[in-house]
Amino acid sequence: MDLRLIAFLLFVTAFLFCIAAFATFYWKRSRARAKVEWKHLIARLTFLDRDSIQQVALDHIDDFGGVRDDEGARLLDSSDVWHLIGGMPGLVALERNCEVLIELACYLQRWYPEAMMAAEQLRNDAREIQWHVGRLKDAVIPGKMESEFADYARPAIAGYYLMTRRVLALYEAADFMALAELQRTI
């Protein structure tokens, strides 16, 4: 058997193994997501101090979501922001909640086609905020944090704050029974 044939067989076997592994793993995840119930999604949300999130968010944006440029804007420094969001555990909880909010948007897309537009915008926003939170976690490196943390934190938390308001509004519109439970959590 020549070398090229052996290489071909090895690559084809590896390709088929990867295809089977990825397809099985992700298809199972997709099936599990399709079967997920509202109460299970809610149970995955981690409690975050809504007042602190609001304080950081409203330091950066106004009540209507516009970036503030008045004198009272961006008074919180990096250590204030870090303290208010609860340090690294708070950041991790924020990231996890973003994932759950994406799942909530997915749930709505799946079962309420009429809410497709709003749900898709929510999903896009949540992904964007996930990106900000990812940068935020990168910024938590000694020496780098002081200069960049607040810059990344403010838009991420303001985005998270706006998104949670929209999720609540969307679920309020869809008249979900568990709205009160969601309001308590996010």
Binding-site ranges for another protein (CB under 8 A): 2, 4-5, 7-9, 11-12, 15-16, 19-20, 22-23, 26-27, 29-30, 33-34, 60-61, 64-67, 102-103, 105-106, 109-118, 120-125, 127-128, 155, 158-159, 162-163, 166, 169-170, 172-175
Give me the helix-helix angle, 87-111 and 116-139, nearest 10°.
160
Structure-token pair, residue 145:
């944090």
Rounded least distance, CB 22 to another protein, Å: 5
Does residue 100 contact residue 45 with C-beta atoms inside 8 Å? Answer: yes
Q: SS3 for 5? A: helix
DSSP state of 37: -
Q: In angstroms, what is the C-alpha Rg of the chain?
A: 21
| Closer CB to another protein, 19 or 43, in the complex | 19
| Closer CB to another protein, 143 or 177, in the complex | 177
Rounded least distance, CB 142 to another protein, Å: 26
Side-chain half-sphere of 41: how many Cα atoms within 13 Å?
22
| Closer CB to another protein, 88 or 111, in the complex | 111
Does residue 40 contact residue 72 with C-beta atoms inside 8 Å? Answer: no
| Closer CB to another protein, 21 or 88, in the complex | 21
Rounded least distance, CB 101 to another protein, Å: 10
Rounded least distance, CB 109 to another protein, Å: 6
